[in-house]
Amino acid sequence: MHRSAPRLTRILACAAVPVMLVVAGCSSDSDAKGSGPADGSSSSPEATAPGGEQSPVSVEPAKYAKLPDPCKALTSKTVEELVPKVKNKAGTAGTSNDTAARGSCSWNGLEDKGVKGSNYRWLDVSFQRFASEAGIGSGGDRARNAYEKEVAAVKATEKAKDVKSSPAAGVGEEATAIAYGLTKSGEDFRYATIVARTGNVVVTLGYNGTGFAGAENPDPSQLMKDAVTAAKEATASVAKAN
């Protein structure tokens, strides 16, 4: 039996092109005449919705719909214990153009001990909430990614010395404690930062201090212990707000 000239020409042309192109453009006659749609679109019912539009991929709903007031995430007792002689017990709120997605608050104080010097303390807390969005991902997954990036960013603090990190047990669903030293204006500051995630919310609590005019610097282990206690309180405030 003799193949027609057009068919033979087509076979030879297909043999000369890469395999991937063969799959795409050199199918058998039966494929070309197949029972699928003439326009080449998929006949799978999952591929398109009624009307020919792409069916949206569902994502897991976000666990939390709102954030707590950052300046009320810690009790007055906690603030006064961690920041002696605090300037503003109510805290100073950070600016935010979307308080449903992010917010922060800070406190600071200087305890003057006369000839024994002065103790300075700074405490801050920030929240970031992630919504579930089709095409982007669930709020929980987005928060996990943001949590990992925040931990890495804190560890990479510019000019930080003796950086140490460890899991912070009992804080949210996952948390990391990061300790380091930093010299500012000739003074040696000690830092304790807790980065935690609860559901679709990332909580970052920072606590630092130094001793002026002869006062001793804060003990790193005590500073971290106090930071973990405050971080537990801040993280718990997310569930309370919802």
Query: Residue 15 domain-assigned?
Result: yes
Q: What is the radius of gyration, based on Cα positions, of the chain? A: 30
Task: Give yes or no for a contact between 129 and 183, defined as CB atoms under 8 angstroms apart.
Answer: no
Residues 31 and 109 occupy one common structural domain:
no
For the segment 181-238, what is each residue's pLDDT rounded down to a tens digit?
999 988 999 999 999 999 999 999 999 999 998 889 999 999 999 999 999 999 999 9
Position with higher pLDDT, 30 vs 215: 215
Q: Is the pLDDT of residue 22 over 90?
A: no
Residues 99 and 214 occupy one common structural domain:
yes
Q: Is the pLDDT of residue 108 over 60?
A: yes
Q: Which residues pair with 183 in a beta bridge?
A: 188
Global pTM reads 0.76
For the segment 152-175, what is each residue's pLDDT rounded down to a tens digit?
999 999 999 999 999 999 999 999
Query: Residue 64 domain-assigned?
Result: no
Task: Give yes or no for a contact between 193 and 151, defined as CB atoms under 8 angstroms apart.
Answer: no
Query: Residue 62 domain-assigned?
Result: no
Residues 16 and 119 occupy one common structural domain:
no
Position with higher pLDDT, 16 vs 198: 198
Please give the distance of CA 182 from its chain centroid, rounded to a whole number. 24
The half-sphere exposure of 8 on its side-chain side, counting CA atoms within 13 A, is 5
Range of the domain at 143: 70-241
Residues 5 and 95 occupy one common structural domain:
no
Task: Give yes or no for a contact between 197 and 147, defined as CB atoms under 8 angstroms apart.
Answer: yes
Residues 19 and 105 occupy one common structural domain:
no
